[in-house]
């Protein structure tokens, strides 16, 4: 299957089904997880039409297995759209964007490119976005008017408009048609091949060919409405015959939608992980991303207040005056703008050093600064709490699955992230707050080594010395690499990181006077021994322990029979499925030992 549907695929599907969907009614809506949805539509002509949407790939009309229980996002959509009559469904500007309007003024917009997006509009104003984003000329955030990604509609342009684009272009005609006319590469190639035009001709020299381009464009659009499916050797299915590739289609069948649904179903079937797990992970990741942004914003404001600390007192004094309202002011040799003031709550929203700051004028400069630093810290702690909640939920699902099938014996060390070093030392690392606490309290002894990535929220890691040779520098380097790979550095896509090691005597739970050490955290006293430029690279293979075959993940080694991963663009579920096939292991076992975040397999 093509990685994503093309603009022409979407044009064909929407126009084949458009008359059947107009004046239909929305019924139940399902969130399948992984940005996939089912919108049940009751049509006067086709009765029930299940609209399947994968915002990262495209749409089609098919039904798939789903849970009867609706998640919070599905309930939100149902509240707005259930039993609403559909006025129209259409493609915007021949782009990979589809809009569905209801008679009540509510609309759904699907942006089916890159990572995809789904928006809910009310009279063209965004009420919700699956993925809020901002660009220089476009905002996908609540309260903003929806602006499509492309304002050029090639299907409604005049010959004169296209001529101006050709004359202004410095690129070839195929590049100009693909990008400036928003038609995409394959479509541009097909138009020029049918018209007999050299695709490498400069667009500025192709003015005389505009009529031929438009004639073939219209012919291709008409062909796509024939509701046929042309399948080629590479497995791709198109709504038209592609003459420019120089090969005959493997098959030509009626029913374009019916023939792409088979490809969509293959993609769904290949995913080895329960849909519930996907929904939990995605919901929690969205929550954690929101906390992360809030933490960073508070940290930035705290830094601005710290940099302007000596100017804050006169600013606060000025803000406390009743006659000071909105406008530009100067105090303590600092200019600032007041954009909002609340006398009851005793705060003002000001702009200082281009930062929007809510400043409490009944508090001291130090209190205001500490407020934001403390809020930043609280959001960071909430991230850890959300991670723990997600892991607990996943653990509960795994337990359910264990009851349904016979599982292998689990060993005590599998409660942690773990591996065996090249010299045979056991390394344990916490998976969450509880295990970060236990790995030190329960398993660290005097001759062990404590390792920690030089990054907030990384796992406490212990190299166990049981007997025999002392812990070597290679053991420490392997454990340090393991620690940084299981920190947030992996999900942030870093290529390398740093970590440090100390002796057990330097690890304490006793805080300084007036401080507090939360569960899972430890105080390190004395010199830290740092290791830098540790590669973000892990290997995985199967080992046998007490006669039982099991997967082990460990710092990269160049050896046979293993799979190597780095931070990448595939989800844990997808990577677990691929590794499971290579190692002939259950993907559900693989996923439990992978680092948080996306990965890629390398050879």
- Domains, the chain, ordered by start: 1-151+226-270 (2.30.310.10), 278-375 (no CATH), 412-501+529-602 (no CATH)
Angle formed by the axes of helices 185-195 and 210-224, to 10°? 120
Contact present, 35 and 4 (Cβ < 8 Å)? no
DSSP at 481 = H
Query: CA 187 to CA 240: how far, in whole Å?
Result: 10
CA distances to 291, 391, 515 from 381, rounded to whole Å, are 9, 15, 16
3 state DSSP class of 17: helix
Beta carbons within 10 angstroms of residue 167's beta carbon: 12
CA distances to 28, 75, 76, 516 from 79, rounded to whole Å, are 10, 6, 5, 45
Beta carbons within 10 angstroms of residue 584's beta carbon: 8
- Give the pLDDT of residue 270: 41
Contact present, 496 and 483 (Cβ < 8 Å)? no
Count of residues making up the chain: 603
- Burial, 578: exposed, middle or buried (Cβ in 10 Å; 0-12, 13-18, 19+)? buried
Beta carbons within 10 angstroms of residue 8's beta carbon: 21
Contact present, 142 and 151 (Cβ < 8 Å)? no
Residue 454 has which token pair?
Answer: 């030089």
Residue 281 has which token pair?
Answer: 């992970």
Ramachandran region of residue 83, left (φ > 0), alpha (ψ -120 to 50) or beta? left
- Give the pLDDT of residue 1: 43
Instruction: Write down the pTM of the prediction.
Output: 0.49
- Give the pLDDT of residue 88: 96
Beta carbons within 10 angstroms of residue 398's beta carbon: 16
- Give the pLDDT of residue 560: 83
Residues facing residue 502 across a β-bridge: 450
Q: Tell how far CA 383 is from the center of its chain.
A: 16
Query: CA 41 to CA 37: how far, in whole Å?
Result: 13
- Give the pLDDT of residue 262: 66
Q: Classify the C-alpha dihedral 75-76-77-80 as positive or negative.
A: positive
Contact present, 361 and 312 (Cβ < 8 Å)? no
- Give the pLDDT of residue 279: 65
Strand residues in 135-200 grouped as ranges (E): 139-140
Residue 546 has which token pair?
Answer: 């007490």
- Give the pLDDT of residue 485: 95
Contact present, 238 and 190 (Cβ < 8 Å)? no
Contact present, 287 and 265 (Cβ < 8 Å)? no
Chain position carrying tokens 């293959």: 266
Beta carbons within 10 angstroms of residue 88's beta carbon: 14
Question: Which residue stretches of the chain have pLDDT < 70?
Answer: 1-3, 66-70, 262-279, 394, 396-407, 513-516, 520, 603
Residue 87 has which token pair?
Answer: 């006025």
Closest by alpha carbon to 24, among 102, 119, 120?
102
The DSSP line for 313-335 is HHHHHHHTSTT--SEEEEETTEE
- Give the pLDDT of residue 271: 43
Q: List CB contacts of 332: < 8 A, sequence separation 6 or more.
A: 310, 311, 312, 313, 314, 315
């Amino acid at each position: 299957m093509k990685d994503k549907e093309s603009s022409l695929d979407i044009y064909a599907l929407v126009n084949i089904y458009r008359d059947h969907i107009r004046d239909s009614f929305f019924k139940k809506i399902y969130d399948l997880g992984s940005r996939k949805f089912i919108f049940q539509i009751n049509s006067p002509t086709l009765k029930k039409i299940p609209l399947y949407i994968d915002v990262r790939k495209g749409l089609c009309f098919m039904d798939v297995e789903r849970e009867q229980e609706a998640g919070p996002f599905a309930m939100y959509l149902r509240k707005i759209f259930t039993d609403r009559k559909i006025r129209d469904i259409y493609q915007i500007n021949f782009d990979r964007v589809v809009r569905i309007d209801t008679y009540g003024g509510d609309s759904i917009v699907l942006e089916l490119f890159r990572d995809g997006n789904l928006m809910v509009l009310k009279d063209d104003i965004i009420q919700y976005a699956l993925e809020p984003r901002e660009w220089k000329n476009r905002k996908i955030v609540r309260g903003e008017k929806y602006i499509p990604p492309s304002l050029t509609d090639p299907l409604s342009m005049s010959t004169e408009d296209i001529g101006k684009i050709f004359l202004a272009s410095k690129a070839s005609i195929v590049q100009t048609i693909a990008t400036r006319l928003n038609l995409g590469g394959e479509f541009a190639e097909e138009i020029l091949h049918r018209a007999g035009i050299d695709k490498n001709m400069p667009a500025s020299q192709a003015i005389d060919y505009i009529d031929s381009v438009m004639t073939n464009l219209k012919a291709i659009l008409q062909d796509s409405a024939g509701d046929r499916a042309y399948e080629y050797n590479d497995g791709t299915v198109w709504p038209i015959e592609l003459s420019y590739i120089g090969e005959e289609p493997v098959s030509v069948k009626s029913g374009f939608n019916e023939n792409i649904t088979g490809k969509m179903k293959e993609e769904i079937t290949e995913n080895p992980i329960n849909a519930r797990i996907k929904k939990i992970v995605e919901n929690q990741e969205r929550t954690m991303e929101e906390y992360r942004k809030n933490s960073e914003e508070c940290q930035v404001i705290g830094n601005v207040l710290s940099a302007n600390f000596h100017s804050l007192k006169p600013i606060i004094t000025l803000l406390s005056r009743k006659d000071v309202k909105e406008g530009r002011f100067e105090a303590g040799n600092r200019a600032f703008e007041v954009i909002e003031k609340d006398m009851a709550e005793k705060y003002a929203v000001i702009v200082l050093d281009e930062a929007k700051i809510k400043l409490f004028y009944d508090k001291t400069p130090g209190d205001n600064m500490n407020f934001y630093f403390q809020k930043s810290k609280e959001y960071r702690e909430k991230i850890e709490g959300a991670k723990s909640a997600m892991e607990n939920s996943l653990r509960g699902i795994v337990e359910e699955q264990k009851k349904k099938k016979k599982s292998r014996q689990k060993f005590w060390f599998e409660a942690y992230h773990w591996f065996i070093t090249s010299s045979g030392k056991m390394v344990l690392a916490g998976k969450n707050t509880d295990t970060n606490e236990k790995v030190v309290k329960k398993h660290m002894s005097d001759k062990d080594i404590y390792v920690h990535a030089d990054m907030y929220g990384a796992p406490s890691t212990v190299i166990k010395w049981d007997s025999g040779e002392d812990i070597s520098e290679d053991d420490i380097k392997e454990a340090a690499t393991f620690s940084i790979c299981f920190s947030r550095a992996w999900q942030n896509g870093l290529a390398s990181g740093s970590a440090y090691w100390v002796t057990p005597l330097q690890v304490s739970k006793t805080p300084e006077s007036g401080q507090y050490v939360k569960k899972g955290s430890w105080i390190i006293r004395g010199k830290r021994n740092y290791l830098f430029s540790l590669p973000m690279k892990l290997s995985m293979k199967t080992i046998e322990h007490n006669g039982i075959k099991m997967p082990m993940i460990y710092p990269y080694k160049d050896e046979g029979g293993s799979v190597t991963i780095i931070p990448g663009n595939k989800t844990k579920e997808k990577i677990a499925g691929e590794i499971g096939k290579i190692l002939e292991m259950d993907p559900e076992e693989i996923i439990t030992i992978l680092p948080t975040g996306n990965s890629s397999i390398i050879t």
